[in-house]
Chain A
Amino acid sequence: DVKVTQSSRYLVKRTGEKVFLECVQDMDHENMFWYRQDPGLGLRLIYFSYDVKMKEKGDIPEGYSVSREKKERFSLILESASTNQTSMYLCASSLSTFGGELNTGELFFGEGSRLTVL
């Protein structure tokens, strides 16, 4: 089974702190994603990566950066945490090619990291 592991399930940080959220996948997937999930807003894409050292902004990249030094690992960085970044953060991975009935481009998600910024 595909496994996407997020290093921390629950974090509490203070405003202004630098926060690292780590994600590791074990299925050699090319694509990795970071989403945040908030009540009433659903999942919103922060950043994604198609390959090592490649990154692209999603819909809400402000206040975040990412790092992908190895294929299996994708890190989300909050340079200076703020209270409006209190949220559930979800990492996901997928194969690079998709289309048709056999390869759906399915996203495999981790269990999430709930971050509270005080």
Chain B
Amino acid sequence: QKEVEQDPGPLSVPEGAIVSLNCTYSNSAFQYFMWYRQYSRKGPELLMYTYSSGNKEDGRFTAQVDKSSKYISLFIRDSQPSDSATYLCAMMGIQGAQKLVFGQGTRLTINP
């Protein structure tokens, strides 16, 4: 079983839809949770960062962490074609020495 599981998709939704992306994990030592966005033929870029549990909002993006269920989510409101990318969840523990563990990535397409 992988430490971090993420549905690779692909996921295709119409413009304006609410998108929900999810990851589950098995390592209870994870404390830092991130979402990276990767456009085609580019490297990943940090999109959202959350420490421990709770929600974090940044514009149209909301990240949620539920440590009791070992489940994290990224919500995109009013999705735009420019949101089309691969979204990777990533996480690490305090002792992780910045060794992030990544999910497989979900390929998302927003159709105009």
A residues whose Cβ falls under 8 Å from a Cβ of B: 4, 31, 35, 39-45, 48, 50, 58, 90, 92, 94, 98-101, 104-107, 109-112
Contact between chains at A98 and B102 (CB < 8 Å): no
Interface size class of B (residues with CB under 8 A): 20 to 34
CB of A22 to closest CB in B, whole Å? 15
Contact between chains at B34 and A43 (CB < 8 Å): no
CB of A85 to closest CB in B, whole Å? 19
A104 partner, pick from B4, B34, B103, beta carbons under 8 A? B34
Contact between chains at A90 and B43 (CB < 8 Å): yes
Whether B29 is near chain A, meaning CB under 8 Å from some CB there, is no
CB-CB under 8 A from B92, the residues of chain A are: 105
A-B contact pairs, 17 of them (CB 8 A): A31-B98, A35-B102, A42-B102, A43-B102, A50-B97, A90-B43, A94-B98, A98-B98, A101-B51, A104-B49, A105-B32, A105-B98, A106-B46, A107-B36, A111-B42, A111-B43, A112-B41
Which residue of chain B is the closest to A110 with respect to CB atoms? Answer: B43
Q: A48-B99, A58-B99, A104-B49 are in contact. Are A43 and B43 (CB under 8 A)?
A: no
- Alpha-carbon separation in the docked complex, A45 to B4 (Å): 14
CB-CB under 8 A from B4, the residues of chain A are: 42
Contact between chains at A100 and B43 (CB < 8 Å): no
